[in-house]
Chain A
């Protein structure tokens, strides 16, 4: 590791720790801890959403996927961006209007039943753990490759940093780490893209021509179908991508860091522009890596192509740019895992402990303490799991998290806002059916049982043919909601739909005593 790498790396860590120190002094109440006191502006939250969303899977994963598989890699970019239309048109504003700290709050605004809140918290924790595991395993592999540290040491380093951010700085520190990271990521991506375009003499169309014989796929590189040969399998993945975002707890939680629905809306707009620009640029990352690094070299470094972007930076801009991109990738993982810890901790401390066990009767101090203890717990467990999961496929874990979010959370979120007849039984049936259908089908899928030795946990023919079960589990979640609702009557403790409807549409809240 050269001195320039060390300087850039220490610079990034120093900056984020400085933010945490500053944020820690402002974090005293539960609202500060969970939602930065709802004090963020639209563009700040928009940047933070982008910083939270553009995970290692986006930056390292998509660049690698495009470089290895051409257009099929770009499907991820298209799906993950379009997902924001679902968020904007259907979820963002009513969610901000009804909720307080967590996704379960918003469902709890309509159903007082503790079972409903418990099921929502269970989903949140499951999604967070899968997503977290993906990020931490990716982080371990990345730092191992970049700096030659052992895998376990890399995981501990990232785990320690994220715990510090969340524990001391809460949502304020987490948000600003995400904002700083979004700026660094965009800067890095724009620089690399510019250098790639320069190599192609700024001829965007000519670049496609050059890609025809840059990879072993030949012309197929420019067409869909290199990886996804089965249409239903492809559509299933895309369902998970486009609907999953609207059910991801750490993204939904970001809407509570702003003061009202109007600001929540404007933050989605900022996020859409930043995320869209980034995903367009993934073409340059992917094409550039395939052309100037070469598929053989990319695969030799990491079979999934995860090192394509840093390697490309090295080829085009030398060691300084490669170190910068590596530091950005590190910051990316830190920002995302910090957001995940916070949403997992909020489900445990706020929903399970505060609302269910203590029935909402907790003091401000108890709440903050519970949140900090839960953060420690979530960090500890996820680090422990990550240490044992070195060989797990990262992309599989992320797409599973999206699938659970789409199947288990999205139907309940939508029906809570838009369906008058929806009731407690429907909500619980939907959340549990979505969760378990997704988990069971994945356990029977080629991700777990694969004829190729070493590709999965068991060797054999998969019982369920598709990698991603969204095409079955999402409809199952919706159906369970409808059937559960129709076979049962409304529970006594449900709040009137009239009140929920009015608040969801207008953002009106009674003055709290």
Chain B
């Protein structure tokens, strides 16, 4: 690889080995994976509970059963998780900018 090419092409293999990039990917994973598992579990617990048990069939508030309360809970979960994601992503954006500044744009 000559000098001229170096200015244009980016050495991806090298960048993704840098501590900054590795740490970014690791923190992203550490942030996202628990939430992804959490919302899948919460979501599929609803049909499992309604199909195999009758614990959600009791009245919660007035004649609104726990089935509805659980379903509304999923709505709240979706809104809360999107907000959490939004806040966290801002932090990652800053890291991304730093990495691009440091290793790519010279």
Contacts and interface: CB of A to CB of B under 8 A. Distances in A.
Interface string A14-37: 000000000000000000000000
A212 B63 CA distance: 8
Given A82-B74, A85-B82, A508 B104 contact: yes
Nearest to B49: A224
A338 to B, nearest CB: 27
B16 A498 contact: yes
Contact of A208 (B48, B50, B68, B83): B68
B82 to A, nearest CB: 5
Nearest to B97: A506
Contact of A505 (B51, B75, B86, B96): B96
Interface string B44-78: 10111011100011000111110110011011001
Contacts, number: 137
A268 interface: yes
B48 A231 contact: yes
Q: Is the interface of A mostly helix, strand, loop or mixed?
A: helix
A276 B62 contact: no
Nearest to B50: A224
Interface residues of A, number: 50
Interface size class of chain B, counting residues whose CB lies under 8 Å from the partner chain: 35 or more
Given A78-B75, A223-B57, A276-B78, A71 B13 contact: no
A209 B67 CA distance: 15
Contacts of B93: 262
B96 A506 contact: yes
A265 B51 contact: no
Nearest to B86: A269
A276 B83 CA distance: 13
Interface in A195-228: 205-206, 208-209, 211-212, 222-225, 228
Contacts of B24: 505
B26 to A, nearest CB: 11
B64 A208 contact: yes
A62 B72 CA distance: 16
Contact of A510 (B10, B13, B67): B10
Contacts of B32: 89-90
Contacts of A78: 43, 46, 71, 74-75
Interface in B14-42: 15-16, 21, 24-25, 28, 32, 35-36, 39-40
Contacts of B99: 506
A231 B47 contact: yes
A266 B28 contact: no
B35 A89 contact: yes
A223 B44 CA distance: 17
B47 A498 contact: no
A272 B82 contact: yes
Given A88-B85, A276-B75, A496-B13, A205 B39 contact: no
A420 to B, nearest CB: 10
Nearest to B10: A510
26 contacts: A78-B75, A81-B74, A88-B82, A88-B85, A89-B35, A205-B61, A205-B63, A208-B63, A222-B63, A224-B47, A224-B67, A228-B47, A235-B51, A262-B89, A265-B89, A269-B82, A272-B82, A273-B79, A276-B79, A498-B15, A499-B12, A501-B12, A502-B10, A505-B24, A505-B25, A510-B10
